[in-house]
Amino acid sequence: MFKEKFSEGIISAKQFNREDLEYILSKGREMITIKNSNILNGKILATLFFEPSTRTRLSFESAMYRLGGNVIGFHSADVSSFKKGESIADTIRTVQNYCDCIAMRNPLEGAAKLASRFANIPIINAGSGSGEHPTQALLDLLTIKEESGTIDGLNIGIVGDLKYGRTVHSLSILLSKFEANIYFISPKELSLRNRYKAYLQEQKVKYKEVTKYRNILDILDVLYMTRIQKERFIDQEEYEKVKNTFVFNEDDLEKTKDTFKLMHPLPRVTEISPDVDKYTDKAIYFKQTGYGLALRKAILAELMSED
């Protein structure tokens, strides 16, 4: 059923209803304990990355190899025919002859959607400009579910660059399918765009917008920190003004509940002080990358396996 519903791939978090989420989270959980398998034997994933990546590309590739499949691809626009002026449409119409699924990251917000119009195999949006990054949000949910035991009823703070942060957009959409209370924390200039707020309002989500997290640290179950997206600023002076707005440190951690979890999609720049890293019961951002592998194995298996 998942395979049929997602036959065009995973383009936006909006494709998922609660049932789909429960299903993929349970499959993600299974993959935590299945290290290697050969269910994708003979299958090929193409990773087309027109923008930098460490975790997303490598975890997709590792997931594919762990399931017995193979990977082709490129990791920079400079080494693909994009450099010669080739369109996304032509790239997709070509690459789909060489593989069974495409994971693509591109600086254009509508790129994954456009790609899916020209593809006859599933496209996975691995980050589209400052739009969405749905598989990151799925792995964020898996992390919360496994580490906090539930998603419903939690107080979840999302802090940093809510305007340009694509992981924030997809995560907010997915959280709207649960009974979570969301606190959006950012300077005014980087607040969540109206189109996402309108979606959350439609879904009757309980959310608040604040500019500081320090006053609410004692009630939060999860704080999801994000990087200020330097590369999306048109004016670098504007970036300089906001770049150090939030720096989470050891003192902050002391004010949190015993069960509190600090997450981050990574890469981090200055927004979490390295002193916090050693508190691994609460600072779970590196553990989160491990859940990413499990979740991506689940996604690839669902989209490509024959049975």
Within 10 angstroms of residue 146's Cβ, the number of other Cβ atoms is 17
Closer of 176 and 288 to ligand NCD (Cβ): 288
Least separation in angstroms between residue 271's CB and ligand NCD is: 10
Chosen residue from 69, 73, 122, 127 binding ligand NCD by CB under 6 A = 127
Chosen residue from 106, 136, 143, 172 binding ligand NCD by CB under 6 A = 136
Closer of 56 and 143 to ligand NCD (Cβ): 56
Closer of 157 and 265 to ligand NCD (Cβ): 265
Least separation in angstroms between residue 136's CB and ligand NCD is: 5
- Does position 133 interact with ligand NCD (CB under 6 A)? The reply is yes
226 is catalytic: no
Least separation in angstroms between residue 97's CB and ligand NCD is: 28
- Does position 56 interact with ligand NCD (CB under 6 A)? The reply is yes
Chosen residue from 266, 276, 295, 303 binding ligand NCD by CB under 6 A = 266
Least separation in angstroms between residue 85's CB and ligand NCD is: 25
The binding site for ligand NCD (CB under 6 A) comprises 55-56, 127, 133, 136, 166-167, 226-227, 265-266
